[in-house]
């Protein structure tokens, strides 16, 4: 009995010895606390150095692009100003010698006689510009206000489309239209017909400039005014238009400068005259037509007067622009 028990224990022992044993789990060697802190600090320092390097690179790139953009803007400004400066210089060089008091106060002389001036044409141009402003400025500002403030999608789309089309129509087409509408109807050329043609040409520039300037006014001003119970029309006239007044005046001056030198529509409407203006229902002289007539003539004296007339026309536009800026600038300061 004891022998059988011993044999059974020996077999169990051999079975246990033949069973494969699992390898002990790998353990991470312990690192002293001060060594792990040093390694973490080194990693953080290397990361900070990389971030600083990237940030410095981006900063240099931004500075380079900023300087490049400023240089291109300055170069573009010079490119735009150089042709204007050359034109003004050449006009002054050619026309200053023919300017004198007689040029502003005398009528044109017949062919072959020396002297004479363009006094009637200067007065006629001012009259035509005044008529055009009376027609073009109110309707242009009202159209721009409607587009910016009363945003009726259908009506705004129609007005904007017509304004864009009108701005691209050649001036001679407008002259033919007014010739058919007024000259043929009343059987005579007149200052009114010329002013209407120029006023139509002013409309799209004033309308779109007014719309753009009013849209640039912050909505908070409009909302604050309406919240105080001020009527919408009073808000537009007293706050919106006054705030955008400088830009609107600039648009009016741009439109005036455009029509002041138009010749084609005046040939079909105002025609021209060699006498002083006698009425708005009669043909009237104008600087663009007089300059055109003298420039195509084969006489050197007329060519000199044409250059002088061009210089006077530029000065008229310049004085109108400066005067309007000063006048409206003072009014805006008083209002504020």
pLDDT at position 286 is 95
Question: Would you say residue 316 lies in a domain?
Answer: yes
pLDDT at position 254 is 87
**156 and 293 share a domain?**
yes
Question: Would you say residue 128 lies in a domain?
Answer: yes
Question: Would you say residue 24 lies in a domain?
Answer: no
**253 and 139 share a domain?**
yes
Q: Are 108 and 120 in contact (CB under 8 A)?
A: yes
Closest CA to 294 of 283, 309, 284: 309
Q: From start to end of 97-142, where are the E strands?
A: none
Q: Which helix (H) or strand (E) holds 61?
A: helix 33-95
Residues with pLDDT less than 50, the chain: 1, 22-23, 26, 28, 31, 34-39
**52 and 145 share a domain?**
no
pLDDT at position 181 is 95
pLDDT at position 116 is 86
**109 and 164 share a domain?**
yes
**157 and 283 share a domain?**
yes
Structural domains in the chain (count): 2
pLDDT at position 37 is 47
**142 and 46 share a domain?**
no
Cα–Cα distances (Å) from 253 to 135, 238, 325, in that order, read: 14, 22, 9
Question: Would you say residue 290 lies in a domain?
Answer: yes
Q: Are 116 and 106 in contact (CB under 8 A)?
A: yes
**176 and 271 share a domain?**
yes
Question: Would you say residue 243 lies in a domain?
Answer: yes
Question: Would you say residue 25 lies in a domain?
Answer: no
**48 and 138 share a domain?**
no
**180 and 284 share a domain?**
yes
CB atoms within 10 A of CB 63: 10
CATH of the domain at 328: 1.10.3720.10
Closest CA to 108 of 310, 315, 302, 303: 302
pLDDT at position 35 is 47
**115 and 67 share a domain?**
no
**142 and 249 share a domain?**
yes
pLDDT at position 192 is 95
Q: Are 328 and 112 in contact (CB under 8 A)?
A: no
Question: Would you say residue 315 lies in a domain?
Answer: yes
**102 and 72 share a domain?**
no
218 Cβ contact list (under 8 Å, min separation 6):
none
pLDDT at position 135 is 94
What domain range is 246 assigned to? 98-335
């Amino acid at each position: 009995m004891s022998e059988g028990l011993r044999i059974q224990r020996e077999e169990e022992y051999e079975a246990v010895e033949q069973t494969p044993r699992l390898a002990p789990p790998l353990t991470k060697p312990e690192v002293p606390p001060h060594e792990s802190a040093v390694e973490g600090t080194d990693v953080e320092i290397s990361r900070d150095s990389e971030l600083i390097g990237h940030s410095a690179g981006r900063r240099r790139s931004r500075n380079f692009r900023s300087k490049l953009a400023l240089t291109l803007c300055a170069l573009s400004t010079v490119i735009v100003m150089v042709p204007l400066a050359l034109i003004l210089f050449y006009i002054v060089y050619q026309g200053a010698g023919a300017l004198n008091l007689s040029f502003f106060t005398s009528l044109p002389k017949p062919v072959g006689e020396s002297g004479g001036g363009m006094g009637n044409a200067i007065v006629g141009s001012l009259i035509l510009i005044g008529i055009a402003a009376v027609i073009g400025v109110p309707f242009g500002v009202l159209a721009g206000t409607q587009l910016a403030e009363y945003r009726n999608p259908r009506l705004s789309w129609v007005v904007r489309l017509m304004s864009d089309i009108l701005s691209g129509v050649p001036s001679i087409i407008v002259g033919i239209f007014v010739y058919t509408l007024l000259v043929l109807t009343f059987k005579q050329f007149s200052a009114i017909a010329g002013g209407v043609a120029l006023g139509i040409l002013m409309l799209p520039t004033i309308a779109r400039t007014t719309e753009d300037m009013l849209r640039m006014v912050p909505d908070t001003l409009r909302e604050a005014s309406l919240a105080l119970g001020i009527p919408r029309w009073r808000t537009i006239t007293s706050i919106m238009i006054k705030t955008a007044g400088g830009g609107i005046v600039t648009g009016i001056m741009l439109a005036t400068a455009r029509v002041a030198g138009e010749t084609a529509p005046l040939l079909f409407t105002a025609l021209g005259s060699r006498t002083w203006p006698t009425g708005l229902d009669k043909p009237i002289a104008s600087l663009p037509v007089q300059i055109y007539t003298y420039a195509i003539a084969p006489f050197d004296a007329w060519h000199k007067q044409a250059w002088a007339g061009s210089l006077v026309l530029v000065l008229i536009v310049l004085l109108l622009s400066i005067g309007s800026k000063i006048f409206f600038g003072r009014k805006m300061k008083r209002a504020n």
